[in-house]
Amino acid sequence: MRNLFLVSAITVLLAACGSQPPAPEQTPSEVKTSTPTDVVVAKPVVSVVPEPAFDAMSVAALKDPRSPLSKRNVYFDLDSFVVKEEFQSTLVAHSKFLAANAKMKMLIQGNGDERGSREYNLALAQKRADAVKKSLALMGAKEDQMEAVSLGEEKPVCAEHNEECWAKNRHGEMLYTGEY
């Protein structure tokens, strides 16, 4: 009886395996290759919370890194007080802000690098501050809202003695009421 049970169990197993069609053999011409373009990658679902919009004319915009008003420096070439084209958009934003906020005042600090005499650097830094002030006034800011002063080489941003550092020190910095 045991033999009969064993034979019938083996027969059932073989019948179950035999009911599936045999897997086709692959030849080298049938091998499918995939390329990176065949791969589909699902993108993760990210919940995007929009950042609150800032009012470009509000005082809060002065500290918002997304605002052009957060940029406060105009850099100058060596021995120059000509405002470069690359800083025009920054100056336009600040002039519009001053025009829209009549009670705000700005202090423009002209700075120079350590090269040259103390007197030369004081004079050049004053010309840089005046150039920023004049540019802002031409763009719509009121003269009585701005004051231009020279710090010469007295307030360096960088203390190393190389061109990269000196370039950081040649600037006009715009500060608003409460920041100076």
Domain that residue 80 falls in? 72-176
Residue 6 in domain:
no
DSSP 130-178: HHHHHHHHHTT--GGGEEEEEEETSS-S--SSSHHHHHHHSEEEEEETT
Residue 99 in domain:
yes
Residue 55 in domain:
no
Residue with more model confidence, 168 or 48:
168
56 confidence band (pLDDT: 50, 70, 90): confident
Residue 34 in domain:
no
* pLDDT score recorded for residue 55: 78
Q: What is the pLDDT of residues 21-38, one digit of tens each?
A: 545 555 555 545 555 555
Residue 5 in domain:
no
Task: Kindly provide the b/e burial profile for residues 3-40, where b requires at least 16 CB atoms within 10 angstroms of the residue's own CB.
Answer: eeeeeeeeeeeeeeeeeeeeeeeeeeeeeeeeeeeeee
How many distinct structural domains can be found in the chain? 1
| Segment (H or E) for 125 | helix 118-138
Residue 38 in domain:
no
Residue 42 in domain:
no
**Are the C-beta atoms of 132 and 108 separated by less than 8 Å?**
yes
* pLDDT score recorded for residue 83: 98
3 confidence band (pLDDT: 50, 70, 90): low
**Are the C-beta atoms of 57 and 96 separated by less than 8 Å?**
yes
For the question of whether the overall pTM of this predicted structure is more than 0.75, the answer is no
- CATH number of the domain bearing residue 96: 3.30.1330.60
150 has which bridge partners? 110
Q: What is the pLDDT of residues 122-172, one digit of tens each?
A: 999 999 999 999 999 999 999 999 999 999 999 999 999 999 999 999 999
Residue 57 in domain:
no
* pLDDT score recorded for residue 58: 85
